[in-house]
Structures are given as structure tokens and as C-alpha cells.
Amino acid sequence: MVHGGLMGIIQRAMVKACPHVWFERSEMKDRHLVTKRLKEHIADKKKLPILIFPEGTCINNTSVMMFKKGSFEIGGTIHPVAIKYNPQFGDAFWNSSKYNMVSYLLRMMTSWAIVCDVWYMPPMTREDGEDAVQFANRVKSAIATQGGLTELPWDGGLKRAKVKDTFKEEQQKNYSKMIAGNGSLN
């Protein structure tokens, strides 16, 4: 995503070092253009693979949230990578609603160490009859299993957005059923 301010300066400097595909999430026309550019990129076998973070956000290293389906609609082979940080010497999670970028960078640079486990997993391709959402969920499940993380069915955007009343009501009904002695969510 395109950023302004200090992040924008860093982004513009990074573009000079290696190619990036920047986009504006709120622009639907931009999404179509990004999809087109990504398809062109993967069709050119001379180009390096694309690094994509399909959650679209950073979370607290305990779970894997819903993947955005766009990364899985463009075709090509996915090379999943599971990353799990060990917060023993320094916590790499950035709670952007609690810390600004400068505070976060200062915390990172003064940490004793940033330690993480990285698993490069076998390549995955979309199966016959599998849509982009099913493919994304299969990849997400494999990553969660490998990293020992919990799979969450919701979008990472929820950490900044108000939870819909219908979602709360559904969870309350499920909880009520469990408490009432039914013991089952189905």
C-alpha cells in the first residue's frame, strides 16, 4: 500500500533498489491494475518471484488471520513461508494503534535481538475446482500448522474497525448454546 510521510520516503527509496507493486487499497480501479501488473510479472519467467503478505496486516504472532483472495486469483505457484517471532529478546509485533512508527523503530533497534523461526514450505498450486478463497484457506491452514499458530476466520482489518453487530450476535448465540448444555455449536 502506498504511504505518505516517513514511510512514503522509505518506500520511494526502496523502489530505486528493487521493483515493487504499490497500490491504494480503497481504489477498486487500482486493484484491477495491480492484478494486471501481477499477472504480467508472473508471466515473465526472467523476473524474481513476488513477495506478498496475504493477511494485509501485521498481527501479534499467535495466529494467522484471513488471507486476502487477490493474491490467489492471479495464478502461478505459491511458495508459502511460515514466520514465527520469538519475543524472548525483543517483540517484533508493531501495534500501530499503540506505537507510532518512530517509537516502533526505536524499540526494534534497541532490542537485544529479533529472533524468528522461518519455514520454507513446499510450493502449492490451485487445484482443479478450487476457487481463490478455498486456495487461500488451504495455504493459510498449511502455514498455521507449520508455525503452530491458530487459524482465525476473520479479516485483520477488524483490529481497527468496529465489529459488526451481526457477528457479535452470532458469537453470543453460539456461546449461549454452549452454556445451555447443548455443548455443540452445530
Say how many C-beta atoms besides its own lie within 10 A of residue 110's C-beta: 8
Q: Using CA atoms, how far apart are residues 113 and 120, in angstroms rounded to an integer?
A: 22
- First-to-last alpha carbon distance for the chain, in angstroms, is 39
The alpha carbon dihedral of 62, 156, 158, 109 has a sign of: positive
- pLDDT score recorded for residue 94: 75
pTM above 0.75, yes or no: no
* Chain centroid, CA 165 distance in Å: 24
Instruction: Give every residue of the chain whose pLDDT is below 50, as ranges.
Output: none
Q: Find, among 174, 125, 82, 28, the residue nearest to 182 by Cα.
A: 174
Q: Where would I find the beta strands (DSSP E) of the chain? A: 63-64, 81-86, 115-120, 150-151
**DSSP H or E segment with residue 164:** none
Q: Where would I find the beta strands (DSSP E) of 95-184? A: 115-120, 150-151
Region of residue 5 (phi > 0: left; psi between -120 and 50: alpha; otherwise: beta): left
Q: What is the DSSP letter of 140?
A: H
Q: Using CA atoms, how far apart are residues 82 and 181, in angstroms rounded to an integer?
A: 38
- pLDDT score recorded for residue 147: 92
- pLDDT score recorded for residue 82: 92
